[in-house]
Amino acid sequence: MFGKRPTIGTEVRPAPVPPPPVAPPPAASVPPANGKAGDVGLAPLPSDGLGAPITSPPLAPTRSPKQAVPSARDSRRSESYYEVKGAIFSALIEAIDLSQLARLDAESAREEIRDIVNEIISIKSIVMSIAEQEELLDDICNDVLGYGPLEPLLARDDIADIMVNGASTVYIEVAGKIQQTNIRFRDNQQLLNICQRIVNQIGRRVDEASPICDARLPDGSRVNVIAPPLAIDGPSLTIRKFKKDKLTLDQLVKFGSVSPEGGEILRVIGHCRANVLISGGTGSGKTTLLNCLTRYIEEEERIITCEDAAELQLQQPHVVRLETRPPNLEGEGQVTMRDLVKNCLRMRPERIIVGEVRGPEAFDLLQAMNTGHDGSMGTLHANTPREALSRIESMITMGGYTLPSKTIREMICASVDVIVQASRLRDGSRRVTHITEVMGMEGDVIITQDLFVYEMLGEDANGKLIGRHRSTGIGRPRFWDRARYYGDEQRLAAALDAAEVQNEPTRN
Ligand SMILES: Nc1ncnc2c1ncn2[C@@H]1O[C@H](COP(=O)(O)OP(=O)(O)O)[C@@H](O)[C@H]1O
Ligand SMILES: [Mg+2]
């Protein structure tokens, strides 16, 4: 296909045909590129030039299927691979008009690159199999058109986070576990160029003057870049992958993250307009749970969501989505979460959903919750339901409100009905560990009551934790009347009963 030569052998021979005279690729000789085909191409590759005979050992035989791509690039062949790729890349950058390329759509640009790469390969008499050529072409297209070595990771759906700690260390999180990959960047300059390309899309720059930047990929993935001199060992890039197909409550039940009865209780909580805080650590599944809960909101309710980066995917028709804005380069134009939540209240919301509560907006959310916007929800970072309550309190205090702490606590009690705690356990599994009610005050103390908990029982031979979800025997939670009002009391009673008697160990 595409005029490729069949495999002749695996050795790369010196070029018998003299290549056209090509100057080494200085960065300045590259035409200014706009859009995507820019910065990465500008970084000169450590190439030994086109004329030099390449006598390195062959590339690894075949490309593994997509899932296995990162490990397929093992370090044994990487030096020679990078050399061949470097030579071809340099020749390509010489031959191609990057500004023209930027005007093409991805598919045509790829075809264009494919043609030129094939030509270079045949001129230079580099011998490689079709599979090797395909891999090389993918790699080069990723460098020119996309995010370079990150592309195979971005293409994988099973990865939750990508963590790049300088050019040669890349970790990913798969199935709740962090693991190192063999992906590497040519050097820190290439990595920084890719970071630059990512943040350019939102009109920002990362450099010594502004070394910290939050951005987003076109697919919605959240990105944080922190560059030298703050990051000592090279640019550090963290990507929280955006999942198009968000997990549903049924899937969480299937994974054992919550038992079927627990799932039913969550459905009732989402439907009967209880005010909910979802608490958990980083990556514990808070946003996922929040998204699940929102599915049970009635179609006719007017919902306003406030997020730092739009992640929630509400299914209802009547939704207004709001997003905060960081300050621009001059430090102006910032719109905070607090601004959004305050503004929300003037938008006649029925429910307010705050992606992540981390600051003084806690006060406004609580106010919304106890002034007729029942069923409002938010997530926050805390390790237990009790800690969630004290976090809310300190967020309000740190926001500059000089209210006595008893008043703040009373406000919390009057606003929050339920706290759902999510946790990522040490075996990588994510679980709902508590569904806890806020009962009221006793003296100065907020009283809570666990309704449903996850109990750890032990560990199997493979290190997987064994445990079970169970109700604590509370037959009538405080939101019972609310559930009854919305016609959910039978479902709630049945789920609570079943959770009490069954006590089945959870799967996996
Ligand atoms: N119960 C679960 N089982 C498996 N994966 C999950 C579960 N909950 C969340 N995830 C995955 O974990 C990652 C982090 O989830 P997210 O909800 O964004 O966490 P948080 O908001 O707490 O930082 C996502 O990729 C998500 O798909
Ligand atoms: Mg989140």
In angstroms, rounded to a whole number, what is the distance separating the alpha carbons of residues 335 and 338? 8
Lowest-confidence region among 39-48, 102-111, 483-492 = 39-48
* Long-range contact set of residues 308-317: C-beta below 8 Å, sequence gap at least 24: 308/337, 308/355, 308/356, 309/214, 309/216, 309/220, 309/222, 309/355, 310/220, 311/220, 311/222, 311/242, 311/287, 311/355, 312/287, 312/353, 312/355, 313/246, 314/353
CA gap 155, 212 in Å, rounded: 25
Q: Averaged over 309-322, what is the pLDDT?
A: 91
* Mean pLDDT, rounded, for 327-346: 88
Query: Strands (DSSP E) along 256-312, which ranges?
Result: 276-280, 303-307
Q: Which residues, 6 or more positions from 404, have their beta carbon under 8 angstroms from its beta carbon?
A: none
CA of 223 to the centre of ligand 1 (A): 16
Instruction: Look at the alpha carbons of 329, 333, 334, 335 in this order and tell me if their dihedral is positive or negative.
Output: negative
Decide: 259 and 284 in contact? Cβ < 8 Å: no
Mean pLDDT of 226-238: 93
Atom of ligand 1 nearest to the CA of 290: 17
How many C-beta atoms surround the C-beta of residue 398 within 10 A? 11
Q: What is the pLDDT of residue 57?
A: 33
Which of 174, 248, 288, 507 is the pocket-test mutation for ligand 1 (most atoms within 8 Å of CB)? 288
Instruction: Tell me, using a 6 A CB cutoff, whether residue 288 lines ligand 1.
Output: yes
| CA 225 / ligand 2 centre spacing (Å) | 18
pLDDT at 139 exceeding the cut of 80: yes
Comparing 19-23, 133-137, 237-241, the range with the smallest average pLDDT is 19-23
pLDDT at residue 39 tops 70 = no
Closest atom, ligand 1, to C-alpha of 257: 1
Residue type, 1: M
Q: What band does 96 get if pLDDT is binned at 50, 70 and 90?
A: confident
- Ligand 1 pocket, residue 38 CB under 6 Å: no
- Across the range 302-327, mean pLDDT stands at 91
Tell me the percentage of the chain whose pLDDT exceeds 70.
83
Report which bound ligand comes closest to the CA of 355.
Answer: 2
Q: What number is the average pLDDT over the span 120-137?
A: 84
Dump strand ranges (E) for 249-400. Answer: 276-280, 303-307, 319-323, 351-354, 377-381
pLDDT bracket for residue 501 (50, 70, 90): low
Q: Which of 55-59, 273-277, 372-376 has the lowest mean pLDDT?
A: 55-59
- Alpha-helix runs per DSSP H in 75-187: 75-95, 98-103, 106-123, 130-145, 151-155
Q: What is the reported pLDDT for 84?
A: 83
Phi, psi dihedrals of residue 404, rounded to the nearest 5°:
-65, 150
Write the DSSP assignment of 177-189 as a string of letters.
EEEEES---S-HH
Question: Identity (one letter) of the amino acid at 97?
Answer: D
Q: How far apart are CA 398 and CA 379, in angstroms?
A: 18
Segment 63-78 shows an average pLDDT of: 42
Give the per-residue pLDDT at 490.
94
**Which residue from 430, 431, 506 has its CB within 8 A of the most atoms of ligand 1, so it is best to mutate?**
430
Instruction: Tell me how far the alpha carbon of residue 263 lies from the centroid of ligand 1, in angstroms.
Output: 16
Let me know: does 47 contact 26? Beta carbons within 8 Å.
Answer: no
Section 423-445 average pLDDT: 94
Residue 463's pLDDT is: 86
Q: Is the CB of 425 under 6 A from ligand 1?
A: no
- C-beta separation of 307 from 322 below 8 A: yes
The per-residue pLDDT of the chain, averaged, comes to 82
Phi, psi of 70 (to 5 degrees): -60, -45
Q: What is the pLDDT of residue 380?
A: 97
Q: What is the structure's pLDDT at 78?
A: 62
Percent of the chain with pLDDT over 90: 51
Contacts of 48 (CB under 8 A, 6+ apart): 83, 86, 87
- What is the CA(347)–ligand 2 centre distance, in A? 24
**pLDDT band, very low/low/confident/very high, at 326 (cuts 50, 70, 90):** confident
Asked whether residue 6 carries a pLDDT value surpassing 80, the answer given is no
Which bound ligand lies closest to the C-alpha atom of 253? Answer: 1
pLDDT tens string 392-425: 999 999 988 888 999 999 999 999 999 999 999 9
pLDDT above 70 for 37 = no
Instruction: Please answer whether residues 377 and 354 qualify as being in contact, where contact means their C-beta atoms are separated by less than 8 angstroms.
Output: yes
